[in-house]
Structure 1
């Protein structure tokens, strides 16, 4: 051991991420975000391509697509609200919380763009 001290903010980050389940929360929110985005993409696909989708019991595919799209958006907003609620329980500086919210929003938009871009690619 060289006797070097680890800075306190790194110890705090380590505890928050590994000891208190922060990393698990990040992955849970990311998974929920991807699922919500896939649901939005499925709804958009049904609205944009009603003639190629045949599902028993669905009379109007575009309306079903808008409903699925709305469910995906609602799930995304609920996931975001859950994250905000959990973040509000953490007693940290407001600027740090705002930074985390900004990073979450940027990451959420990028993940959604990636999933939607993958939906648009032509497999053949």
Structure 2
């Protein structure tokens, strides 16, 4: 639920800043949101590409922060630290859930 909540909040923020922003940065924001949705749905489906998408999301997120002088489309201070915490926590939790599912899932082979 936390991934869904953060994605919804970021999406609402993106919709409010689109008229004022640069087109390229708005596209990067949208790509980051698409990677977020792909990552958590892949993780829920127990697919291994969820961690790859999560890594790309984190790299893109930190790149956007860097290009905007560590601001996030008009947000600064506590919100930026919250996003950094979210990116790092998200990749660790995705990795943890994938390892847990591999341990719990028996190796089934056809007869």
Q: Return the index of the structure with the highest Cα Rg.
A: 1
- The answer to which structure, 1 or 2, has the higher relative contact order (CA under 8 A, 6+ apart) is 1
TM-score, normalising length: structure 1 = 0.38
TM-score, normalising length: structure 2 = 0.41
